[in-house]
A and B are shown apart, each in its own frame.
Chain A
Amino acid sequence: MKNIVSQKVQEMQPSGIRAFFDLVLGMKDVISLGVGEPDFVTPWHIRESAIYSIEEGYTSYTSNKGLVKLRTYISHFLKKRYGLEYDAEEEVLVTVGVSEGLDLAMRAMLDPGDEILICRPSYVSYGPVAELAGGRPKFISLSQKDGFKLSPEVLKKNIGQHTKALLLNYPCNPTGVSYTKKELAAFNKILEKHGIWVISDEVYDELTYDFDHTPFSSLSGAKERTVYLNGFSKAYAMTGWRVGFACGPRDVIQAMTKIHQYTIMCVPIVSQMAACEALVGPHKPFEEMKREYHRRREFVVARLNEIGLSCHQPQGAFYAFPSIKRTGLSSGDFATRLLKEKKVALVPGTAFGPEGEGYVRISYATSFDMLKEAFERIEEFIKK
């Protein structure tokens, strides 16, 4: 009998740190700096509007692309926030988080043999999703020496005859790196010359601290070559609702919608109603969240330097990515021993690609009191 699991899935690399995750989840009273989601609960006005929508009987399918109301709000929001022009009817698709948007974009764009450039360390799903879509991920290794930043020279060097697209993620999970408008414009010039597409995952855009976030598609001439991905998870503390959106030229949005209508049908209506409220309701809670993250970043970087773990300055998201090389431990051993000896959990850098060896990801989406305590413990651990 044939194997029940397809060849393609058999060949997928399982996550190397599943065992470590299980270890963390099996332990009690752990201080976790390992969480990739906000420590805030979705603000009440959003939860309340979702409850109300259920009471009102909003329990049906919506149009495949998402509620017209939500797409219109997204379109207006992007116009107001960034000056982006996306037509709510043709150029916006509501997705199940950015995760689905990413999958759709890759499947809609990649033919077998097409290469997609992905910088590493990177979020865990980019490589596997590209492979599932039939494309070939080509990884660009970034290092601390360059502040984990892509440069125009390195980008140029990695473009080949099969390169179809570049995947950008800024601010970046796990490094917190982001790019200024000038830096992005330099990439855009090269990509334009070679006719290369961009899939831009900007889910952490609202959590940018040192300069204004620039959407890639806002750059001159870039909109026609960019699939812009964003969502409500990080900026509005709405991870569990699973709502994201993809914006791009109508051809590609149409293609993505084709896949989406067969595989997902539509995003749950209650989540879409909640997302509407997030966009039109009061923004004060989100500004407070951002201020809080900003302060914690200052604290985390200052403490890492005090302890002697070198760390580049993260410009966004809620992660720091310090080097633990001076301890002589591998990322996995460092994380496991810190967990067992001091009950502090963080994610070994190797979860984000081999380039992450010698680093760990620290999430500061944790209360200030917890952060203080965690750093006391890390300091004791390092001294030992």
Chain B
Amino acid sequence: MDVILELLSKDARITPQEISKLTRIKADEVKKRIKKYEKDGIILGYKAVINKEMIEDKETEVRALIEVKVAPQKDLGFDKVAERIYAFPEVASCYLLSGSYDLLLVVEGRDLKTVSRFVAEKLSPMEHVRGTVTHFLLKKYKEDSMILKSKEENKRLAISY
């Protein structure tokens, strides 16, 4: 991965000037490359990583992983069905997998009822959907390489040879 992308993926707030100092790539060149990544859709956006385990967000209080079995369509494969599914605002993530089922969804909702209703009334009756298994999420430990725990304090001495 380009060092610029690597640094940005670790800290989206890093400035082109700082990247330049860390890498010796000229700041203008850094800016140019970031612009291009944005234009090409390689950088999709910038956001804070929030530990949702620690805040109350009524709209996404309940999360579920849902396995979906899908009958693929001629010429279209899974893409068309996937598109119809991921367009729902309840669906936070959508993946096509190999193995015993096809799509894996992460669905968020206000409460159990909301998520259940989404599965029962919107997802399951959909054409080409052959079956679903819903797992409600109890606790998150690690997400996108981030451990969802406040950082351990530094155990080093503050000064040493």
Contacts and interface: CB of A to CB of B under 8 A. Distances in A.
B159 A21 contact: yes
A345 B157 CA distance: 12
Per DSSP, chain A at the interface is mixed
B22 A296 contact: yes
B21 interface: yes
B158 A345 contact: yes
A136 B146 CA distance: 53
A134 interface: no
A372 interface: yes
Contacts of B152: 41
Interface in B134-161: 152, 154, 156-161
Contacts of A30: 158
A372 B156 CA distance: 20
Given A123-B161, A302-B21, 15 more contacts: A30-B158, A35-B156, A36-B161, A39-B156, A125-B161, A173-B161, A295-B22, A295-B23, A296-B22, A298-B22, A298-B23, A298-B24, A299-B21, A299-B22, A368-B11
Nearest to A375: B21
Main secondary structure of the interface of B (DSSP, over half): loop
A21 B160 CA distance: 8
Which of B152, B154, B156, B159 has most A Cβ within 10 Å? Answer: B159
A296 B18 CA distance: 10
B161 A347 contact: yes
Contacts of A347: 159, 161
B24 A25 contact: no
A35 B158 contact: yes
Interface in A264-278: none
A124 B159 CA distance: 14
Interface in A360-381: 368, 372
A352 B7 CA distance: 35
Q: How large is the interface on A (under 10, 10 to 19, 20 to 34, 35 or more residues)?
A: 20 to 34
A168 B18 CA distance: 35
Contacts of A298: 21-24
B23 A34 contact: no
Contacts of A32: 158-159
Interface in B10-28: 11, 18, 21-24
A252 to B, nearest CB: 26
Interface of A: 21, 24-25, 27, 30, 32, 34-37, 39, 41, 123-125, 173, 295-296, 298-299, 302-303, 345, 347, 351, 368, 372
A34 B159 contact: yes
B21 A24 contact: no
Contact of B159 (A41, A296, A302, A345): A345
Contact of A34 (B7, B11, B158): B158
Nearest to B156: A35
B160 A37 contact: yes
A173 B21 CA distance: 23
A35 B157 contact: yes
A34 B18 CA distance: 22
A37 B159 contact: no
B161 A24 contact: no
A125 B156 CA distance: 20
B3 to A, nearest CB: 8
A33 to B, nearest CB: 9
Contacts of B11: 368
Contacts of B24: 298
A295 B21 CA distance: 8
B10 to A, nearest CB: 9
Contacts of A24: 158-159
B22 A25 contact: no
Among B18, B24, B152, B160, chain A packs the most CB atoms within 10 A around the CB of B160
A345 B159 CA distance: 8
Contacts of B156: 35, 37, 39
B23 A35 contact: no
Nearest to A351: B161
B90 to A, nearest CB: 36
Nearest to A38: B156
Contacts of B23: 295, 298
Contact of A36 (B18, B21, B160): B160
Nearest to B7: A295
